[in-house]
Amino acid sequence: MKKLMLAMAVVAFSAAHVNAQDSKSTTLSVAVNAGIPTSTGYSFVLGGDLQADFAVAAGTKITASAGYENYSWKGGGSSGFIPLLAGAKFNLGSDKLYGHAQLGYGFSTVSGGSGAFGYAPSIGYYFSSNLDASIKYLAFSRNGFTLGSVGIRLAYSF
């Protein structure tokens, strides 16, 4: 796990260093996430995140994000995860359509809860330079159990 976190830090640092000469190639976005759990016993997922995109080549960005996801149980109550993810975002044939793949770690907010490996593939669309939406599968896996959700991410970039 320490190797994974170190690798994520190196990728994020490298991307920031590559773009140090061109600050316009870095964007920051804040997003709202809403989805339907793919795991039984949960009713819906609601959360948000903050994401930095670092342009590294034409149509390709390295990303780093942190957020909070709340999984509501069907019988009442909820549990949460704080995902820390790093990934790559790439254009899919146009400047508007993109694919995004992320890997990282989710920290449980439940007392005594443990963390889990996180991953999130998505496909999105830029409506403008400040607004985009994506369909995202976010999952946390540990010891053969996966807590996942399919949702929509609506983001505002500045």
Task: Walk along the chain (158 residues) and give the pLDDT tens digit of each residue.
Answer: 444 444 455 445 544 444 444 445 899 999 999 999 999 999 999 999 999 999 999 999 999 999 999 999 999 999 999 999 999 999 999 999 999 999 999 999 998 888 999 999 999 999 999 999 999 999 999 999 999 999 999 999 99
Q: What are phi and psi of 40, to 5 degrees?
A: -70, 150
**How many domains, in total, are found in the chain?**
1
Query: Smallest Cα–Cα separation from 104: which of 94, 93, 115?
Result: 115
Write the single-letter amino acid at 123.
I
For residue 24, the model assigns a pLDDT of: 54
Residue 133, number of CB atoms within 10 A of its CB: 14
**What CATH number does residue 146 fall under?**
2.40.160.20
Core vs surface per residue 69-100: b (16+ CB within 10 A) or e: bebbeeeeeeebbbbbbbbbbeeeeeeeebeb
First to last CA, the chain: 32
Task: Residue 32: give the domain boundaries.
Answer: 2-157
For residue 67, the model assigns a pLDDT of: 98
For residue 113, the model assigns a pLDDT of: 85
